[in-house]
Amino acid sequence: MSANTATAPAKALPPRVALRTWVAIALFAGFALVPVLAGLIDDPFLLVTATRIVVFAIAAMALDLILGYGAMVSFGHAAYLGIGAYAVAILSAYGITDLGLHLLAAVMVSAVFAAITGGISLRTRGVYFIMITLAFGQMAYFFFVSLSAFGGDDGMTLGRRSTVFGQPLLEDNLVLFYVALGFLVALYAFSAALVRSRFGRVLTGTRENRIRMQAIGFAPFPYQLTAFVISGCMTSVAGVLLANQSEFVSPAFMNWHRSGELIVMVVLGGIGNLTGAIGGAMIALLLEDWLSLLTRHWRLFFGLFLVLVVLYAPGGVTGLIRRIRGGPP
Amino acid sequence: MSDPLLSVRHLCKAYGALKVTDDLSLDVATGELHAIIGPNGAGKTTLISQLSGQLRPDSGRIDYGGRDITRLKMHERVRHGMARSFQITSILPGFTVLENVAMAVQARSGSSFRFFGAAARERVLNDAAMDALAEVGLDDRAHRIAGPMSHGEHRQLEIAVALATKPRLLLLDEPLAGTGGEEAENLVALFRKLKARTTLVLIEHDMQVVFALADRISVLVYGRIVASGTPDEIRSDPAVREAYLGEETT
């Protein structure tokens, strides 16, 4: 939202908020029906794709929480995907296979990593913040590259997926999909509550005007850091699920390309919109799948698509929908 | 004079060789409206920024309510009851008018580390915000997005936000800049009302307003206070007339 929007809506905004939520609910319902569709057209690969979309939707949503609502452009968020994935791989290697423990370890390590790197990164702003988060992300990447006990550069294949109460339930792709979807819905509900809470309002207020927030008595740092940590922890949940989906972990999960892809998803969906981030993840992954079927040079066309979106639909998909409905962009 | 609410001693701030605040001392008594006037570039906004904590002085001391606040940050000073408005409009453009003010109420009412419960539905916040909006006459536009509103409305909103922090000391940096006619009249009427319950430091170019409202006036020239006194004293001060007033009063 910019200061120089030409016309102001005379009335309040409540309907728009509700619309977003409805779209999200529709998306979740659509996801829930994917296995039925996959059964009908007898395409087991559809379920795999859908699981990846759901997992990346969690990560994109987590990133949007700080990028969109807090104006903190983290270019190192793939590190948390990697931390989550390696939590599964490393604990499993030591015979701890429980999903709950994997999640707990992922979230705890991510919280510590986010608190330290965020605490340092938040001393800077703008481009410097982007660069310093990138640097920390790459440090995490090279740490796992050099971790030869766990495959180093090559990564390692997981013997099996995480267990739930000792049962290998997640070995079934269908169960894994619904577990991932469950996490997406729960984390969406959590995030939606967060951005509307007092805490969320301080976060968005700081995005809008930092000096103004200080002038009414807020110190932005503790709020921003807390949001940064929450976002990192959420992303690591996606990492745990990603490792289970691919049954393989490698440092490539936390490479800076991956961080860039997460930002692309947020931008495609429309910055500062949780539902949009889910849509952005969906579009990015489907487009990638589709374009890579057509040509080996699919990245070129993907790039072209991104340029077009940024130029002609700067609000991403959600901005486009809003414009079609006749609201302000 | 009784114990001043705000007491500034030997304040200095320089940008390179340029002394923007030059050994400045100033007292603001509880309950008074203290105007600071001076030609462009005299260092008025720099002074306000140091009083509010946005800028740190190079040396000198600021006491407020009997305690040294020289090293307190802006947000800490606000918690002690000091609020400011900005010369260049500073609002949350994407928020509604009500949300802008409710944000300020939230800053002084309870913890903001609350992750659940919609802030927009908190009665305590909205009611206090509406009171502040009613005072500046913006309550009928509470649900408009603040960014695209008129300049005059932004000025009103700035003051509502400052009021919502329940200040004991209100620092107003050219609140009338860019407003005219009825808008300006309404704001002047508001300041007159505020005088009764809070201490005000006012920077303003409109001499008519300053002389009509101020209990005391300090004249700032090249970072120094050259004169300080009641409007009558200032009007008849030959040094002031020469340095500043002569060309601007009618």
Number of Cβ pairs closer than 8 Å across A and B?
131
pLDDT at residue A216, rounded to an integer: 94
Instruction: Give the one of B96, B108, B119 whose C-beta lies nearest to A217's C-beta.
Output: B108
**Residue B115 confidence (pLDDT):** 92
The predicted pLDDT at position B249 comes to 45
Write down the pLDDT at residue A5. Answer: 40
Which chain A residues touch B74 with a CB distance below 8 Å? Answer: 214-215
Q: What is the pLDDT of residue A151?
A: 87
A264 close to A85: Cβ distance less than 8 angstroms: no
Question: For residue B29, which amino acid is it?
Answer: A
Nearest CA-CA distance, residue A202 and chain B, Å:
7
Looking up tokens 């495609």 gives A268
Arithmetic mean of pLDDT, B224-231:
92
Measured at the CA of A74, the angle between CA A71 and CA A76, to 5 degrees, comes to 175
Domains of chain B: 1-81+167-250 (3.40.50.300), 91-166 (no CATH)
Say if CB B56 and CB A188 are below 8 A apart.
Answer: no
- ipTM exceeding cut-off 0.85 for this assembly: yes
Helix axes A44-67, A274-294, angle to 10 degrees: 130
Task: For residue A270, give the DSSP letter.
Answer: -
Q: How confident is the model at residue B245 (pLDDT cuts 50, 70, 90)?
A: low
pLDDT of B239: 78
Residue contact B145–A208, C-beta within 8 A: no
User: Rounded mean pLDDT of chain B?
Assistant: 91
Quick check: A208 and B79 CB within 8 A?
no
Q: Residue A11's closest CA among B204, B246, B60, B144?
A: B144
Give the span between the Cα atoms of A211 and A220, in whole angstroms. 9
- Indicate the DSSP class of residue A167: B
Contacts 24+ apart (CB under 8 A), A301-304: none
Residue A179: the pLDDT is 97
Tokens of A225: 């850091």
Sign of the dihedral through C-alpha B100, B105, B107, B110: negative
pLDDT reading at B246 higher than 70: no
| pLDDT tens, residue by residue, B102-151 | 999 999 988 999 999 899 999 999 999 999 999 999 999 999 999 999 98
Return the H-helix or E-strand segment holding B22: strand B18-29
- Counting Cβ atoms within 10 Å, is residue B108 exposed (0-12), middle (13-18) or buried (19+)? middle
Quick check: A197 and B75 CB within 8 A? Answer: no
The reply to whether CATH 1.10.3470 applies to domain A2-324 is: yes
Q: Tokens 């702003």 identify what position?
A: A125
Per-residue pLDDT tens digits for A213-269: 999 999 999 999 999 999 999 999 999 999 999 999 999 999 999 999 999 999 999
Interface touch A11/B143, C-beta < 8 Å:
yes
pLDDT at position A159: 87
Contacts of A223 in chain B (CB under 8 A): 112-113
Which of chain A's residues have a Cβ under 8 Å away from the Cβ of B106?
Answer: 198, 201-202
pLDDT tens column, B150-178: 988 999 999 999 999 999 999 999 998 88
pLDDT at A327 (0 to 100): 62
Rounded mean pLDDT for each run of 10 residues along chain A, 329 residues in total: 40 56 93 92 90 97 96 96 97 94 98 98 94 97 93 90 91 95 98 96 96 94 98 98 96 94 94 93 93 88 88 83 70
| pLDDT confidence tier of residue B237, bands split at 50, 70 and 90 | confident
Chain B neighbors of A8, CB-CB under 8 A: 144-145, 147-149
Q: A185-205 in b/e burial notation, b at 16+ Cβ within 10 A?
A: bebbeebbebbbbbbbbbbbb
pLDDT at B250: 42
List residues in chain A touching B: CB distance below 8 A.
1-13, 193-194, 196-202, 204-205, 208-209, 211-219, 222-223, 226
